[in-house]
Amino acid sequence: MRTLEAKPEKPAFAATQNPCKLCAPLGASLVFRGVENTVGLLHGSQGCSTYIRRYMISHFKEPVDIASSNFSEETAVFGGGENLKTALENVIAQYHPQMIGVASTCLSETIGEDVEKILREFRAAHSTGTLPELLNVSTPSYKGTHMDGFHATVLAITKHLARRSGRQKTISIFPGLISPEDMRYLKQVTRDFDVAAVMLPDYSETLDGGAWDTYHLISPGGTPVAVLREMGSHAASLEFATTLAPEKSAGAYLEQQFEVPHMRMDLPIGVTASDRLFETLSLITGQAVPGVYQTARGRLLDAYADAHKHVFGVPVAIYGEEDWVIALAGFAAEIGMVAVVCASGGHSGQLRSRLLERLPKTIAKTAEILEDVDFSEIEEAARKRQPELLVGNSKGYALARKLDIPLVRVGFPVHDRIGGQRLLHLGVTRVPSVCLTSGSML
């Protein structure tokens, strides 16, 4: 049996089979949706935008526009600079955005496009007019996952916009890839602590808004660019990403550049991780944890006790983004379940050590910890460890069918059920309707 201390050797594969990750510009596109009046533009072929749009629509059930510089065979050989400039002109003319976020794709990265230079030329050619903010982020999918693209874009926006002018009591929150419902929950928590919070990204409305009377070219919502400019003046930043390297962290950047204290923590799923969030907010604001959360915490603990005889000792396989796997494995341990497989397509190198810190030693010692894997490798481990339950996104559907065990759908994407965007995973407020959850995952 493998242990946490003994990292398994990676077998040689001819190809990845059903990857346990998504493409890097998809993460970038999600973040761009969380900034007000912003359009994402992928520098590459039209198929990349179409695939990502389709993927996001299937989960969020909202209209999603992603522009493309539309590479052809000719552009792939001679470069797509002129295409990108034309795309920028078209987006500006049609959408009148305040910001355009340009993310590269496998193709433009492979031919070595200098997007910064193309944007400089575009700005110089339009120096007499008013241009939107033009931002570039490098997101080669062959080098990273959707989470790499996501965090790279949060960092790129922070670097591009954040300035310091005095000091405010406001806090920045870098929540990672959570659901719109989770974002609304976090905003409610900060309101209850009576502290202003700026979230990057905030797609709680843009990707889960109400029904429209008239069509909006850009969905209403998102954090305004002007508000993001003030991040350098904030009192603190919270980041739910403990596997993220400091040089890739927007919170670490704010601390380094503007002396904004940076606090990192696990995604607040379950009581232990939520306690850490509430303690941190208490520390920042000097306020006691609002009574509503103390009451909800007690009710949730009571629900844990009620469910204990059903879930205690149940072996579970958890997969997905590294930070999600750590938070969910911690939550599973909290309610008495045993994470026998913890797997991710991510490759930060932090999953193993973070799980060792987070899980009880008895579970951590025997769990199969799999980093940078696809679903064929997860299946191999699951067949060996015989979990009774899978927990992860909809990409595990085929595996659940093969193993003939239930799949608890969480995170992103949940595209074979309606309402993935409205799952609440974080916090302690809701008593679970099903004993396996701290939020409303089922």
* Complex with ligand SF4: residue 276 or 347, whichever CB lies closer: 347
Cβ proximity to ligand SF4, 23 vs 335, nearer residue? 23
Provide the strand spans (E) within 247-347.
262-264, 315-319, 338-343
C-beta closer to ligand SF4: residue 56 or 318: 56
Nearest distance, CB of residue 172 and ligand SF4, angstroms: 29
Chain residues that interact with ligand SF4, rule: CB under 6 A: 23, 25, 44, 48, 51, 105-106, 141
Residue 234 is encoded by which pair of tokens?
């904030």
Residue 22 vs 436, nearer CB to ligand SF4? 22
CB of 138 to ligand SF4, least distance (A): 12
Say how many CA atoms lie within 13 Å of 33 toward its Cβ.
30
CB 104 to ligand SF4: min, Å? 8
Q: CA 373 to CA 119: how far, in whole Å?
A: 36
Q: Is 242:269 a contact under the CB 8 Å cutoff?
A: no
Give the β-pairing of 368-370 and 338-343. Answer: parallel
Least distance in Å: CB of 252 to ligand SF4? 27
Between strands 133-137 and 368-370, the pairing is: unpaired
- Minimal distance, residue 211 CB to ligand SF4, in Å: 30
- Dist CA 141 CA 106 (whole Å): 6
For residue 415, give the 3-state DSSP assignment. coil
- Nearer to ligand SF4 (CB atom), residue 106 or residue 173: 106
> Whose Cβ is closer to ligand SF4: residue 47's or residue 209's?
47
User: CB–CB of 370/342 below 8 Å?
Assistant: yes
**Residues ≥6 apart with Cβ < 8 Å to 342:** 317, 318, 319, 325, 326, 329, 351, 355, 367, 368, 369, 370
Instruction: List helix spans (H) across 132-285.
Output: 146-161, 180-192, 225-228, 250-258, 270-285
Least separation in angstroms between CB 16 and ligand SF4: 11
Q: For residues 143 and 308, which CB has a smaller minimum distance to ligand SF4 in the complex?
A: 143
- Nearest approach in angstroms of CB 121 to ligand SF4 is 24
